[in-house]
Structure 1
Amino acid sequence: MPTPSAAPLDRRGFLSRTALLGGLALAPGLVTACSRTEAGTGAPKDDADLLAKLREQGFVRVGFAGEAPYGFQDGGEVAGEAPTLHREVFKALGIPELRPTLTEFGALIPGLLADRFDVVSAGMSITPERCAKVSFSEPEFVSPTALMVRKGNPKQLGDLKSCAAAGATVGVLTGAVEASYAKAAGVPDKAVKSLAKQQDGVDALLAGRIDAFALTGISLRWLGRTNQGAAVEVGTPFIPEIGGVRQFSAGGAVFRQGASSLRDAFNRELAKITGAPDRYVALIGRYGFTEREVPPRSLRTADLCAG
């Protein structure tokens, strides 16, 4: 790790700040970021009997956003970390079919609250702001931030603080948490460029419009694989800070706040997968997820929601 304050990226060391202190039809969609903020709100419905209803009907309506490797279209089917992992969980719950809707990331939470789907499965980051509107599962993955830079890393950029010191221009996805990370690290607002989608980050780097592209390491590693031969590279992951507090990126499934029975049942099956790293990697390793992305037992959604 480039910063001395960052914990080792393994199951014991990758702790939350609280722990440290103690075959599917698709709808059209857009490529967006797993860490984006959502627009709009809605009123949760009474979901006390949702789990029983889903078991009876045999399918669950799932909202996805089109971002690889979390959830994306591949040959007419939904692929990626979230659909693969969640399909396994729902099958174990006696719900054999996913009926997905691929949509813009910013429309996921409003769509959930408007009852367009029952669950959001998009690798969405667990944040206090989102927890005020919806209910998250326990973490299904963790991922630190990383930088994609031009080949050879001409400005020797290792983290966002080094970007600020070098006067570098940093690209972030529109609405993504990386913008706040850059600001906290001292990168001036004028040096932060918003980009609509992941591929725009690669294109902007190659064109010299930005010096670094900040996103989760998982996403950037995947982006590098899909741009083989491009003169870019991904640096060592790091853990950004805001106000001296390390920001650990953890994602999970999203439910309406009343859907406690479904969420709790989901968590029980999820724990069987995250508690068995070999099984976890066998399921989603092809999307770039390794044992380093397995969330430690000490990392809890309640702590992440508390901020």
Structure 2
Amino acid sequence: MTEFPHLSRRGFLTRTAAVGGALTVPGLLAACSKTDAGSAAAGLDKLKEQGYVRVAYANEAPYGYEENDQLKGEAPTLHREIFKALGVDELRPTFSEWDGLIPGLQAGKYDVISAGMAIIPERCEKALFSEPEFISPTALMVKQGNPKQLTDLASAKEAGAVIGVMSGAVEKSYATGAGISDGDIKTLQKPQDGADAVKGGRIDAFLLTGISLNWLAKNNSGLEVTDSFVPELDGVKQYSPGGAVFRQGSEELRDAFNRELKKITSDPTRYVQLIGEYGFGKDTIPPANLKTADLCRA
């Protein structure tokens, strides 16, 4: 797989055009407790006929989250635009804990995961990924002043730091790959849990994408985010590309989605107009030669 140059954190903080409106979902929380179960993979024709697509989100800002009965974030905004172009006007959301997203998809509780999920081989074995929607390097959230002077996972290992990661997320493999022992890795359920654990001194740093941590830092005083870095696994740089996720057997739907996605990622102005408000800029647009097929084989 082709390796790509390091992206600075500044690129992920671009704030330009406002997003083209959030999806209003009256009674969202009540609706999220119910799903239209069914194990058959939904095709595009079926979705167009019924007029909606069932999407799952993990309530992780800025990727996909609920606020004031609106589904917001990078993935729902981008996916709404794509499905409208495909003739499907409505996203019907379902909330899931992060580590329940793919099992819920496999069980037929929804048709697409709209959560900015990283594309990795283990997940490719269980579901179909779109082409990348964005790329994002990694960072550490630490207490203000960075008492242990952490800059990356190598420095965290050297300092004997206790690192927090989200349950089911790819960052645990980064920490393990850097030689940090299991006893120094703590699993948390939500991003805010990670921020709270750093504040409370239960962990020394919270490991997540720079996009997520900079968003989280807005609402958590006394914390700061390190400059982003690109972790490695077995000598291969990990850029954490994310995409939409479909049930196996949904190749036709995935391919139609990809065609519309390419129109957006090949147009930087449109890309930023759609999701710039959430911290995504021209530097988060995936390179044209970064392909899901390669990421799934890595």
TM-score tier (shorter): 0.7 to 0.9
Aligned equivalents of 1:99, 1:175: Cα separation in 2: 24
Q: Secondary structure at the match of 1:141?
A: coil
Structure-1 residue corresponding to 2:226: 235
Which amino acid in structure 1 is aligned with residue 229 of structure 2? F
Where does 1:1-307 land on structure 2 (aligned, <5 Å)? 7-9=5-7, 23-25=24-26, 26-27=28-29, 45=40, 47=42, 50-227=43-220, 230-307=221-298
- TM-aligned CA deviation for residue 207 of structure 1: 2.0
Distance 1:256 1:134, change over 3 A: same
Aligned to 2:158, the other structure's residue is in SS state: helix
* Deviation per residue, 1:237-283 (Å, 9 max, x gap): 11111122212201111112211111111101101111111211111
Matched residue SS, 2:174: helix
Aligned AA (2:7): L
Is the CA contact (8 Å cut-off) linking 1:126 and 1:305 kept in structure 2?
A: yes
d(CA) in 1 for partners of 2:276 and 2:122? Answer: 30
User: CA offset at residue 292 of structure 1?
Assistant: 1.8
Aligned residue type for 2:25? L
Query: Aligned residue for 2:14?
Result: none
Shift of 1:202: 1.6
Q: What is the rounded CA distance, in whole Å, between the counterparts of 1:128 and 1:44 in structure 2?
A: 23
Provide closer, same or farther for how the CA distance between residues 206 and 6 of structure 1 changes in structure 2, counting only shifts above 3 A. farther
| Aligned equivalents of 1:83, 1:149: Cα separation in 2 | 29
* CA deviation vs aligned residue, 1:182-218 (integer Å, no higher than 9, x gap): 1211222222122222112222222222221110111
CA contact (8 A) 2:163 2:185 kept: yes
Query: Matched residues in 2 for 1:97 and 1:8: separation?
Result: 37
User: CA distance change for structure 1 residues 108 and 201 in 2, over 3 Å: closer, same or farther?
Assistant: closer
Gap change, CA 1:191 and 1:29, over 3 Å in 2: farther
CA RMSD of aligned residues (A): 2.0
Q: Aligned partner of 1:24: which letter?
A: V
User: Which AA in structure 1 matches 2:49?
Assistant: E
Q: When the two structures are superposed, what TM-score results if normalisation uses the length of structure 1?
A: 0.84
Aligned-residue offset at 1:95:
0.8
Q: Percent identity?
A: 59
- Residues 193-202 or 275-284, more deviating: 193-202
2:119, 2:295 within 8 Å by CA — same for their partners in 1? yes
Whole-angstrom distance in 2 between the partners of 1:95 and 1:46: 16
* Shift in Å, 1:28: 6.2
1:102 to partner: Cα distance: 1.4
Are residues 175 and 259 of structure 1, via their aligned partners in 2, closer, same or farther at CA, if it must alter by over 3 Å? closer
Distance 2:151 2:123 in 1: 29
The AA in structure 2 aligned to 1:169 is V
* Aligned-partner Cα distance in 2 for 1:76–1:102: 12
| Structure 1, 176-185 or 216-225: larger mean CA deviation | 176-185
- Given that residues 127 and 305 in structure 1 are in contact (C-alpha distance below 8 angstroms), is that contact kept between their aligned partners in structure 2? yes
Aligned to 2:18: none
Instruction: Report the TM-score, using the length of structure 2 for normalisation.
Output: 0.87
Shift of 1:225: 1.3
In structure 2, the residue matched to 1:39 is none
- Deviation of 1:220 (Å): 0.2
CA distance in 1, matches of 2:119, 2:40: 21
Q: Which aligned segments of 4 or more residues in structure 1 are displaced greater than 4 angstroms?
A: none
Alignment gaps of 5+ in structure 1 = 11-22, 31-42
Q: 1:106 to 1:195 in 2, by over 3 A?
A: closer
The amino acid of 1:7's aligned partner reads P
Secondary structure in structure 1 of the residue aligned to 2:207: strand
Given residue 8 of structure 1, which amino acid in structure 2 is its aligned partner?
H
